[in-house]
Copies of this chain bind each other. A is one copy, B any other.
Amino acid sequence: MLIIGERINSSRKVICDAMRSRDASVLQLEARMQSDAGAHYIDCNAAAVGVEEEPTTLAWAIKVIQDAVDVPVCIDSPNPEAIAEAIKVHRGRALINSITAEKKKLSALLPIIAEHNPRVIALCMSDAGMPKGVEERLIIAESLVEELVRAGVGEEDIFIDPLVLPISVNGDIGQTILRAVAQLRERFPKAHIVMGLTNISHGMPKRGWLNRAFLVMAMAAGLDSVICDPTDRTMMALLIASKALLGQDEFCMNYINAARRGMLDL
């Protein structure tokens, strides 16, 4: 299970303020906390600082994060220009979050991807807007993977995101996403399946329980990577247990070691 730590996101006021004032210490602390908690990538989103400032802010943020931790950054922006600036300063192989099937975005991002060879999150969204059901997600994924492979990206470097929407808006979304994950897993055996986990609980009270239960279910359906908060110890305990239950932890040694190291004491 590949974990992308979500905490350095400018939608959080503390992060947006730190980005605006170029306070590296806040970002570096968040990066270290997540890396120590098991994150394989640190997501970094600076969109809320404003379109003009985003490219330079994102590039600055990536540098300070990489000064603090060894894990690569997941460059998170709706803005291809910001991604283009940011990827230039990234050391090692970045993950781009995200490309979609929206024609304008696709044509802006494909040359950047061809030049820098990052791994890519392919989000199931098109010019038709939010996908409605499972079938629409499969069709968008199909066309996105085709475009990316044609641009030279290996299927094993594509992270397909079925686009999780809030259950508070659509009561069927949980089942839709679980079915989509299972079908994507079957259709694209070499690709990764990822999701922005916490989207599921927007607008709900006590969001953590919905996030945690949904992660466990999605793992059983075939999810192999996730954008989430790895400092949630309860969620991580469930993730470690889920790997053992799904045959992803030989002789449960990882689970047993986690127990020994106190990671399951909550």
Name A residues whose Cβ lies closer than 8 Å to a Cβ of B: 167-168, 171-172, 174-175, 178, 200, 204-206, 209-210, 212-214, 216-217, 219-221, 234, 237-238, 240-242, 244-247, 250-252, 255-256, 259-260, 264-265
Q: Which residues of B contact A168 (CB under 8 A)?
A: 252
Report the minimal beta-carbon distance from A145 to chain B, rounded to whole angstroms: 26
Minimum Cβ distance to chain B for residue A54 (Å):
34
Contact B209 A240 (CB under 8 A): yes
- Are B241 and A213 in touch, CB under 8 angstroms? yes
Known A-B contacts A167-B245, A171-B250, A212-B238; A256 and B204 likewise in contact (beta carbons under 8 Å):
yes
Distance in angstroms between the alpha carbons of A167 and B251 in the assembled complex: 9
Of B220, B247, B265, which contacts A221 at CB under 8 A? B220
How many copies of this protein are present in the complex?
2
Q: Are B175 and A246 in contact (CB under 8 A)?
A: yes
Q: Which 8 pairs between the two chains have the least Cβ-Cβ distance?
A: A174-B245, A206-B264, A209-B241, A205-B259, A213-B241, A217-B220, A216-B216, A206-B259
**Chain B residues within 8 Å of A212, by CB:** 238, 241
DSSP majority for the A interface?
A: helix
Chain B, residue nearest A218 (CB): B220
Bound CA–CA A217/B219 (angstroms): 9
Q: Closest Cβ of chain B: how far from A227's Cβ, in Å?
A: 18
Smallest Cβ distance from A200 to chain B, in angstroms?
7
Q: Verify A171–B252 contact, CB threshold 8 A.
A: yes
For residue A250, which residues in chain B have a CB less than 8 angstroms away from its CB? 171
| Residue contacts A-B, CB under 8 angstroms, 30 given | A167-B252, A171-B251, A171-B252, A172-B247, A174-B244, A174-B246, A178-B220, A200-B245, A204-B255, A205-B259, A205-B260, A206-B259, A206-B265, A209-B238, A209-B241, A210-B244, A210-B255, A212-B238, A212-B241, A213-B216, A213-B245, A214-B245, A216-B216, A216-B217, A217-B220, A217-B242, A217-B245, A220-B221, A234-B234, A238-B238
A212 to B241 CA separation, bound complex (whole angstroms):
9
Cα A244 to Cα B217 in complex, Å, equals: 12
Other A-B pairs, 12, CB within 8 Å; known A209-B264, A217-B245, A220-B221: A167-B244, A171-B247, A172-B247, A178-B220, A204-B256, A206-B237, A209-B240, A210-B244, A210-B255, A217-B217, A217-B246, A220-B220
